[in-house]
Amino acid sequence: MSIESQNVTDYPNSNTIFMVWKLNDSPQLKDVFQQLCALVLNLNNSVFNRFPDSRASCVMGIGSEGWKKLELPTPLPKELISFEEIKGVKYTAVSTPGDLHFHLRADNKSIIFDMGIEISKLLSPVAESILEIHGFKYWDARSILGFVDGTENPHGEDRDYFAKIGDEDLPYKGGSYLFVQKYLHNMDAWKSLSTEEQEKVIGRSKENDIEMSDAVKPSNSHIALANIEGENGEELKIVRDNMPFGSPSSNEFGTYFIAYSSTFSTTKKMLRNMFIGDPAGNYDRILDFSTAVTGTLFFVPTRNMLDEFSG
C-alpha cells in the first residue's frame, strides 16, 4: 500500500484557520479521537469532490503529550518531544502547550468555517480550545510588516523532500514535523523606521522582494539568520505556510508562523540562529519588532495512519 501524506506541501491559500486544542481526561477521549481521525479524512475527501478548485484542506497534527494521552503507538516519532524554550540574551522562543493542531485552508472562507464548526462540535466534550487564529492573504503574500513572506520556500519535488519524513524513521515515513508560533508585531515601532532601515532588518527590498547581496546584507537581518545550511554546507529548508492576522480596532497585528519539516532539528537550528544568534548575541533584528507568544511542536501523521487510528 502506498503512503499518502496529509496536505503538508499545499501552497498557501487565501484564508486559513489555525486551532490548538488541549485534551482532557474524559473517558470518551479515545472514542472521540477515532471519530476525529475519520472526520479529518472525510472533510478532505468531501471538499475535494465538492469544491475541486478551492484548494481546500484540513491538516491535523498531534503533540507529544497528546500522543501519550491517546496512547498512540510507541516509540513516538524520533523528534516528537515537548518543545523546549530557546532563550537568547534578549529574546526567548517560548514553549506553550498543545495536544492537537488544525490547519484549515481554502480560497473560500465558508469552507474552512464549516470545517472548524464540525471539528469543534466533536472535540468540545473532551478538549479545550486554547488558540484560534483566522489568517488571510495580505496583498501579494506579504506579512503585515509589508514584506513578501515565504520567498525562500522550496518548490516542486523539493517540497516533499524538505517537508516529509523519509526512510530515517520508517514507521512514520510520509509524516511531517509541524512547528508553530504566534508572533505579535509592534507596528508603531516598525513604522517609525524608514523603508531603508526596514529593508536592513529583513534583508530584502520592500517593493520588489529582491535579496540584498552578502556584501550589503546585515549579519543580523532576518534573511541572513533564517536561511541555514547543514554541517557540510548543504541547503536546509522548511515548508512555511505563514499567514498574517489582525484586529484593526484593537491594534493587534501578527504573523502565525507555521513550518512543516522532515526533521525538527532543521527548524530548531533556524530558531537558535534567530533567538540566540550566529554568533551568539547576534540575534535576528526582526525580534525587536515581533514577539513570539506561543511555540509548540506537533507531528502530522499520514492519511494511512489516520485511517488506522479511526478504527
Dist. CA 45–CA 55, nearest whole Å: 12
Exactly one of 31, 53, 107, 149 is catalytic; name it: 149
Dist. CA 90–CA 276, nearest whole Å: 8
Spatial contact of 222 and 277, defined as CB atoms under 8 Å apart? no
C-alpha cell at 224: 541572513
C-alpha cell at 121: 462540535
Hey, is 60 helix, strand or coil? strand
Residues with Cβ within 8 Å of 54's Cβ and at least 6 positions away in sequence, in order, are 47, 106, 107, 108, 111
Q: Choose among 94, 103, 218, 212: nearest CA to 147.
A: 212
Specify which residues 297 forms β-bridges with. 179
Q: Choose among 78, 18, 137, 105: nearest CA to 263.
A: 78
**CA count, 13 A, side-chain hemisphere, 277:** 16
Spatial contact of 244 and 254, defined as CB atoms under 8 Å apart? yes
C-alpha cell at 31: 472514542
209 labelled catalytic: no
Specify which residues 243 forms β-bridges with. 256
Sign of CA dihedral 4, 8, 14, 17: positive
Residue 121, Cα to own-chain centre: how many angstroms?
24
Residue type, 179: F
Catalytic sites, residue numbers = 149
